[in-house]
């Protein structure tokens, strides 16, 4: 005799609220949402702006100077960025295009930090948050979550394969720190 195993019901309102409020979720939670919503899967290039304050950059610069044994700002920029970026293979928010990055950059969330770097990765099996919101718009607080469409947000596992798209703000800050 076969026993039926009932899947746990996902509270999409809570899931999206956690995402909106930058609450971390487990990989298994996001994996569950993706497996229950295959029409919301995204694969392709995605972008993320990472913001770093001066204290973190100064520490990373000191560590990088020990490794690189140079005072060349361009060389040190790469070392500093790799020192600052934390990769833990967890789901992170990315944008499907640069418009989403700029939309976020104009928000108050990004102005607490001094410098940003923009990276790009090739996503596979990511969660298109806007498609998810639209799919459940009758079951969630649609007005509250509509901003996800402006950011073109996708949840993607962040691994160690990324390309730096723009490091000019970090480079300028490193030049300044080296000369002080």
Q: Is residue 74 part of a domain?
A: yes
For the chain, how many structural domains are there in total? 1
Q: Is residue 163 part of a domain?
A: yes
Q: Is residue 103 part of a domain?
A: yes
Residues in a beta bridge with 126 = 42
User: Measuring CA to CA, which residue among 105, 104, 93, 89 is closest to residue 42?
Assistant: 93
Provide the whole-model pTM. 0.84
Domain that holds residue 50: 41-179
Q: Is residue 111 part of a domain?
A: yes
Q: Is residue 33 part of a domain?
A: no
Structure token digits, residue 75:
């060389």
Mean pLDDT of 75-83: 88
pLDDT of residue 112: 59
Q: Is residue 32 part of a domain?
A: no
Percent of the chain surpassing pLDDT 90 = 27
pLDDT of residue 164: 92
Measured in whole angstroms, the distance separating CA 12 from the mean position of its chain's CA atoms is 20
Q: Is residue 35 part of a domain?
A: no
Contacts of 69 (CB under 8 A, 6+ apart): none
Per the listing, tokens 């934390």 go with 86
Residues in a beta bridge with 95 = 47, 153
Measured in whole angstroms, the distance separating CA 79 from the mean position of its chain's CA atoms is 20
- The angle at the Cα of 153, spanning 152 to 158, to the nearest 5 degrees, equals 135
Q: Is residue 13 part of a domain?
A: no
pLDDT in tens, 84-122: 888 888 898 899 998 888 877 676 555 555 788 999 999
């Amino acid at each position: 005799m076969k026993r039926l195993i009932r899947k746990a019901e996902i509270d999409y309102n809570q899931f999206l609220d956690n995402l909106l409020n930058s609450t971390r979720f487990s990989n298994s939670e996001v994996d569950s949402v993706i497996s229950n919503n295959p029409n919301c899967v995204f694969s392709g290039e995605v972008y993320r702006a990472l913001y770093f304050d001066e204290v973190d950059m100064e520490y990373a610069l000191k560590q990088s100077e020990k490794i690189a044994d140079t005072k060349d700002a361009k060389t040190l920029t790469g070392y500093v960025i790799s020192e600052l970026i934390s990769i833990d293979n967890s789901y992170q928010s990315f944008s499907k295009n640069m418009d989403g990055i700029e939309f976020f950059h104009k928000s108050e969330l990004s102005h607490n930090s001094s410098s940003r770097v923009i990276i790009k990765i090739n996503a596979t099996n990511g969660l298109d948050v806007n498609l998810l919101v639209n799919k459940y718009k009758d079951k969630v607080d649609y007005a509250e979550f509509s901003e996800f469409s402006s950011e073109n947000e996708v949840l993607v596992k962040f691994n160690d394969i990324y390309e730096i798209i723009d490091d000019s703000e970090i480079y300028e800050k490193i030049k300044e720190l080296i000369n002080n």
